[in-house]
């Protein structure tokens, strides 16, 4: 297998891992105002992802860095042509990360409500915009002979791309609801299960439509299999949610996300960014790649360090595997002023 193909698979693996892991983070953030009826319950939701959310975002950083190093032409065209959507994602992720850290700095309700809104929008915006971006990659964009994007922002907001955004949003909300059903207990879990039963219907309708259109317009014969597995994952998640099998439901939503992303990348190959003007302007794994020596050094590094990172993150999930509920959330202690001391009676 050529080095360029190896790194295309590696980039696809990184993006798939990112959407699988960060997907339920986004879903939990989007469900924060729905499932958390008071501050204690909202803290349950945030504590469910608290130990892992920043580690999940590392997959995005590594995917971007790997794209830059292995396919610099792809990186340059993607980050310049999709500048505004990617800027919206970056700002949302920054605000979301700050909100996680600053929410608990003060006990005032209005302070925490503001950061809760930041977490909500910092989760919803990336969940939607990532779908818009990857749908446009699958569909193709206007690239000229210099591999520069010559379209406009409104061109990126076409109906197919917007459907892709709704697909990732509904999938991530479902993924987050199922994760909370698996990770929490008590009233929060009961409401998460009810939300999951509604979200899975929306995910099947929206996601199924998007995948079918993608397969008919941009797919290959082999991607019928990946589309079928993604659809089976959603149907299996619906059955598991109805039967209260939280673990199987999470496997189902995870499989749906993984194979939906795999479908997009397999349909894309060997292009990395198709041109809608003419196929000659498209970026491919060949004309967008770094030098063979660079790819060789990167491959050695990836073989050494990737298993270590995966093992470490797996250990983190194992350590924090237990369910949590409101009883695990310490209540704030009220500060009491010391009673004033009485002056001693004067000696007689």
Average pLDDT over residues 308-318: 86
Least confident of 5-19, 274-288, 295-309, 331-345: 331-345
The string of pLDDT tens digits covering residues 81-98 is 999 999 999 999 999 999
**In the block, residue with structure tokens 């818009």:** 132
Q: Domain 3-328's class?
A: mainly alpha
The string of pLDDT tens digits covering residues 222-251 is 999 999 999 999 999 999 999 989 999 999
Residue 49 to residue 287: CA distance in whole angstroms: 40
What was the pLDDT predicted at 333?
Answer: 55
Residue 142 to residue 77: CA distance in whole angstroms: 11
Least confident of 2-11, 173-182, 221-230, 258-267: 2-11
Q: Count CB-CB contacts under 10 A for residue 315.
A: 10
pTM of the model: 0.89
What was the pLDDT predicted at 332?
Answer: 62
Tokens of 89: 């994602």
- Extents of the domains making up the chain: 3-328
Tokens of 117: 């809104």
Segment of 37-51, 219-233, 292-306 carrying the highest mean pLDDT: 219-233
């Amino acid at each position: 297998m050529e080095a360029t193909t190896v790194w295309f698979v590696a980039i696809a693996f990184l993006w798939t891992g990112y959407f699988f892991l960060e997907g339920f983070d986004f879903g939990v953030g989007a469900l924060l105002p729905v499932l958390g009826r008071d501050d204690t319950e909202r803290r349950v939701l945030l504590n469910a992802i608290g130990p892992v959310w920043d580690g999940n975002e590392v997959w995005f950083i590594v995917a971007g860095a790997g794209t830059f190093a292995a396919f610099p032409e792809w990186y340059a065209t993607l980050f310049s042509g999709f500048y505004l959507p990617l800027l919206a994602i970056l700002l949302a992720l920054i605000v979301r990360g700050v909100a996680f850290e600053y929410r608990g700095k003060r006990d005032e309700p209005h302070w925490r409500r503001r950061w809760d809104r930041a977490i909500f929008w910092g989760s919803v915006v990336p969940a939607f915009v990532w779908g818009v971006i990857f749908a446009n990659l699958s569909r193709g964009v206007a690239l000229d002979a210099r591999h520069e994007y010559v379209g406009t922002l409104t061109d990126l907001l076409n109906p197919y791309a917007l459907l892709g955004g709704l697909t990732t949003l509904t999938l991530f909300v479902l993924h987050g609801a199922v994760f909370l059903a698996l990770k929490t207990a008590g009233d929060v879990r009961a409401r998460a299960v009810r939300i999951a039963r509604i979200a899975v219907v929306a995910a099947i309708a929206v996601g199924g439509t998007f995948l079918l259109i993608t397969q008919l317009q941009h797919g290959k014969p082999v991607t019928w299999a990946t589309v079928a597995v993604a659809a089976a994952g959603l149907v299996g998640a619906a059955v598991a949610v109805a039967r209260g099998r939280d673990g199987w439901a999470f496997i189902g939503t995870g499989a749906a996300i993984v194979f939906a992303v795999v479908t997009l990348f397999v349909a894309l190959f060997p292009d990395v960014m198709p041109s809608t003007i003419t196929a000659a302007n498209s970026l491919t794994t060949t004309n967008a790649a770094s030098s063979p020596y660079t790819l060789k050094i990167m491959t050695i590094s990836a073989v050494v360090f990737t298993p270590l990172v995966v093992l470490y993150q797996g250990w983190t999930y194992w350590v924090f595997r237990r369910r949590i509920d409101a009883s695990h959330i310490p209540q704030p202690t009220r500060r009491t002023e010391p009673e004033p001391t009485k002056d001693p009676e004067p000696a007689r």
